[in-house]
Amino acid sequence: MFGVSWGFAVVFAIAAPNLDGCSDCDKIAPVLWIPFAGPILAEFVDETPGVSPAFILNAAWSGAQIVGAFLLIKGNIGKKNLSSREGSLSLEPFHYRDDGYGLKLKYNFN
């Protein structure tokens, strides 16, 4: 989730300076490289007075980055560690449809 939301920000930051009809894109693009705060800071970089309706979208975008980073960290420090489980690894013949044959790698958890 973090990779997708921040990746979208990076793609937009790279493409924004070349967009036609966007006067503030040169100012907004460098700010989007900042994880978590970039979309919210982009709201304050443009020179329009007050808070625009896009602020809610930018806040949700930053929120998605924060939640994604939290889930990434939580998933990496979880209590289940599959690499510590014992199992068996085998190579077996595989029949695919009518005339396709091959080998499959099979792992059984014990």
Identity of the amino acid at 58:
N
Distance between CA atoms of 85 and 95, rounded to whole angstroms? 29
| Residue found by looking up tokens 């099979």 in the block | 106
pLDDT in tens, the chain (110 residues): 777 877 878 888 888 777 777 777 777 788 888 888 888 888 777 666 666 777 778 788 888 888 888 888 887 776 665 565 677 888 888 887 777 788 888 888 76
SS3 sequence of 11-68: HHHHHHHHCCCCCCHHHHHHHHHCCCCHHHHHHHHCCCCCCCCHHHHHHHHHHHHHHH
Instruction: Break the chain into its structural domains and give their ranges.
Output: 1-110
Instruction: Name, in order, each residue with C-beta under 8 angstroms of 22's C-beta and a sequence gap of 6 or more.
Output: 16
